[in-house]
Chain A
Amino acid sequence: MSVIDQAAPQQYRHLRLNVLRYDPRHPAAKPHMQEYQIEEADSMTLFIALTEIREHQDSTLQFDFVCRAGICGSCAMMVNGRPRLACRTLTRDLPDEITLAPLPFFELIADLSVRTGKWMRGMSERLQTWLHAQEREVDICRIEERMDPDLAEQIYELDRCIECGCCIAACGTAQMRQDFVGAVGFAKIARFRLDPRDTRTDDDYYELIGDDTGVFGCMSLLACHDVCPKSLPLQTQIAFLRRKMAAQGL
Chain B
Amino acid sequence: MKTFMTDVLVIGGGLAGLRMAIAARQRGHETVVLSLVPAKRSHSVAAQGGMQASLANVTKGIGDSEDVHFEDTVRGSDWGADQVVARMFVNTAPKAVRELAAWGMPWSRVRGGDHEVVINEQRVTLTERAEAHGLIAQRDFGGTKKWRTCYAADGTGHAMLYTTTNQAIRHGIEVHERAEAVALIHDGERCYGAVVRNLVTGELIAYLAKATAIATGGAGRLYHVTTNAVICDGSGHAIALETGVARLGNMEPVQFHPTGIFPAGILVTEGCRGDGGLLRDVNGDRFMPNYEPEKKELASRDVVSRRMEEHIRSGKGVHSRFGTHLWLDITLLGRRHIEHNLREVKEICQYFLGIDPAEKWIPVRPAQHYTMGGIRTDHTGQSPWLKGLFAAGEAACWDLHGFNRLGGNSVAETVVAGMIVGEFIADFCDKPENDAPFPLTLAREFVQREEAKLAAILDGNGHENPFQLCTEMQHIMTRHVGIFRNGDELLDGIAHLQRLLERSAKIGVSGKSRAANPELVATYRVRRMLKLALIIAQGAYLRTESRGAHFREDYPRRNDREWLKRTLAFWPDEAASMPSFEYEPLDVMKMELPPGWRGYGAKDYIDHPDTPCRQQEVDATRSRMEGQGRFAVQEALMPYTDKLPASLTGRNERLDEPLETSR
Contacts and interface: CB of A to CB of B under 8 A. Distances in A.
Nearest to A142: B653
Interface in A61-114: 61-62, 64-74, 88, 90, 109-110, 113
A177 interface: no
A116 B169 contact: no
Contacts of B315: none
B589 interface: no
Contacts of B46: 67, 69, 71-72
A138 B102 contact: yes
Nearest to B231: A66
B330 to A, nearest CB: 13
Interface string B98-119: 1101111011111100000000
Contact of B98 (A128, A140, A147): A140
B351 A43 contact: no
A219 interface: no
A69 B230 contact: no
A66 B518 contact: no
Contact of B108 (A45, A118, A156, A197): A156
A70 B346 CA distance: 12
A121 B321 CA distance: 44
Contact of B153 (A141, A145, A153): A153
A65 B98 contact: no
B457 interface: no
B159 A156 contact: yes
B455 interface: no
Contacts of A141: 95, 98, 650-653, 659, 663
A5 B166 CA distance: 44
A3 B170 contact: no
A73 B98 contact: no
Contact of A130 (B103, B153, B352, B511): B103
Contacts of B654: 143
Interface stretch (A14-22, A52-60, A201-209, A240-248): A52-60
Interface stretch (B133-141, B245-253, B369-377, B539-547): B133-141
Nearest to A74: B41
A131 B548 CA distance: 41
B518 to A, nearest CB: 6
Given A70-B347, A143-B653, A162 B158 contact: yes
A67 B651 CA distance: 37
B98 A59 contact: no
B136 A140 contact: no
B266 interface: yes
A25 interface: yes
Interface in A191-237: 192, 195, 197-198
Contact of A2 (B104, B363, B509): B363
B515 interface: yes
A26 to B, nearest CB: 8
Contacts of A90: 351-352, 354
Given A2-B353, A140-B95, A143-B653, A148 B109 contact: yes
Nearest to B97: A144
A152 B267 contact: no
Contacts of A197: 102, 104
Contacts of B163: 131
Nearest to B264: A43
B570 interface: no
Given A59-B510, A109-B516, A160-B155, A146 B133 contact: yes
B104 A130 contact: yes
Contacts of B103: 130-131
Nearest to A89: B351
A125 B173 CA distance: 11
Contacts of A125: 169
B518 A54 contact: yes
B517 A60 contact: yes
Interface string B111-135: 1000000000000000000000111
Nearest to B175: A121
B361 interface: yes
Contacts of A145: 101-102
A34 B371 CA distance: 39
Interface centre among B41, B175, B362 (most CB of A within 10 A): B41
Contact of A25 (B107, B109, B515): B515
B40 interface: yes
B134 A148 contact: yes
Nearest to A230: B347
Interface in A40-58: 42-43, 45, 54-56
Interface in B131-175: 133-137, 152-153, 155, 158-159, 162-163, 166-167, 169-170, 175
A24 B374 CA distance: 39
Contacts of A67: 41, 43, 45-46, 229-230
Contacts of B511: 59-60
B348 A149 contact: no
B56 to A, nearest CB: 10
B361 A163 contact: no
B229 A130 contact: no
Given A130-B166, A141-B659, A146-B109, A163 B40 contact: yes
B434 interface: no
A28 interface: no
Interface string B444-487: 00000000000000000000000110000000000000000000
8 contacts: A54-B467, A117-B177, A128-B170, A130-B104, A130-B170, A144-B136, A149-B111, A195-B104
List 4 tightest A-B contacts by C-beta distance, closest first.
A117-B38, A146-B134, A131-B104, A59-B519
Interface of A: 1-5, 8, 23, 25, 42-43, 45, 54-56, 59-62, 64-74, 88, 90, 109-110, 113, 115-118, 120-121, 124-125, 128-131, 133, 138-149, 152-153, 155-156, 159-160, 162-163, 192, 195, 197-198
